[in-house]
Structure 1
């Protein structure tokens, strides 16, 4: 298996919050890509590399960034011989390719023909999450059908459905559809989906089909990887794997909360997510 970490975003909300902060406590975050933010005792992205390496679930880790942050990512990756970097060649948020196109870029650039962990570079999970257990579940589903892919979900509150992609499932936890930021009255499900998927190698050619299908669509219909998963669900089987929750570093307050948890509450850094 391979891991592709999507890290080509520009963190505009976070940088706007940092610029507006008058305390001076977060001046050191100016110009830092979200995946490279210090979380606890290491960069956010380093938590993923440590867990992927320690759990031995993949034999390649690929990170997609942009041209603006490429030097910083290359400097970071110098400490990890199992990490390779590719740039999407953009230098601004307005010029971004979108996460699905970045995933396609990684698949083609690194000639990936294997199952793939797709990981959002601004996301971390709670301590109940285990890469090894998730991989085991994925391979169980592969025995049943080689088309099977997996997405994660956790329970959100009624007043949070409008923030997330919400997946609806059947009794066997097969995804029926995914609604993008619905009102609580528009779905009975409260299963929020973070940017983390285990895509079967059989589903990778569908990236081309999705982007061709959406070539004339506005960016919001093809940017987030959840758009691809939503499109994939009626075409190939996708199952849900339940987790306790996540840290989504989007703005300054969510970063503060995440950093504080890792400094004060994380029980075992070495076994985290393994």
Structure 2
């Protein structure tokens, strides 16, 4: 199994917040990629590498970043022999390829023909999440069908449905559809879906099909990984693994909340994510 960490974003909201901040407390975070932000005792992405290494659930980790942050990620990756960093060649948010195209780039560049864990580089989870449990659940699905895929979900608040992709799931925990940022009245579900997926090896060729279909459409229709997931649901079985919640580092407020949790509230750092 392989892992692809999507880290090619430009963190425009966060950087604007840092520039506007009058306290000076966050000046050291200016021009730092979100996955390389300090969270607790290490940078955000290192929490994932520690867990991926200790569980031995993958044998290679590919990090897709951009030309602006490529050197910083290469320096970070020197600690981790299993990591290879791939530059998507862009230098600004306006040039970005989009998350789905970055995933396709990694799959094609490294000739991946294996099941793939896809991780959003700015995302961490609450302590009930376990890589071992998640991959065990995937193995169970694979015994039933090699086409099975597994994603995460957690219960969001009513007023938060319009921020996220919301999954509608049947009694077998199979996803029936995904609604992108619906109003609360537009769905009975509150199952938000973060960017963390386990795609089967038979699903990977569909990345090319999806992007070919969408190549003349606006970037917004093929950028977010949820767009691919929504399209995939009608073509391959997708199931959910439920967790209690996540940290999504989008702006300065969400970053400081995440950092404070990891410095002051994390109960079992030695087994976090494992």
Fold shared by both chains (TM-score > 0.5): yes
Q: Does 2:164 match 1:164?
A: yes
Q: Matches of 1:114 and 1:270 in 2, distance apart? A: 29
Offset, 1:264: 0.3
Name stretches of at least 5 consecutive residues in structure 2 with no aligned partner. none
Q: Secondary structure at the match of 2:271?
A: coil
1:201 alignment partner in structure 2: 201
Cα RMSD of the aligned pairs, angstroms, is: 0.5
Q: Does 2:112 match 1:134?
A: no
Name stretches of at least 5 consecutive residues in structure 1 with no aligned partner. none
Match runs of 1:139-218 below 5 Å: 139-218=139-218
Offset, 1:224: 0.6
1:63-85 per-position Cα deviation (integer Å, ceiling 9, x unaligned):
00000000100010011111110
1:19 alignment partner in structure 2: 19
Match runs of 1:27-46 below 5 Å: 27-46=27-46
Offset, 1:164: 0.2
Offset, 1:26: 0.4
Give the total of aligned pairs.
274
Normalising to structure 2: TM-score of the pair?
0.99
Offset, 1:245: 0.3
Match runs of 1:32-71 below 5 Å: 32-71=32-71
Normalising to structure 1: TM-score of the pair?
0.99
Q: Matches of 2:195 and 2:232 in 1, distance apart? A: 15
1:154-201 per-position Cα deviation (integer Å, ceiling 9, x unaligned):
000100000000000111010001000000000000000000000000
1:270 alignment partner in structure 2: 270
Offset, 1:254: 0.1
Offset, 1:270: 1.7
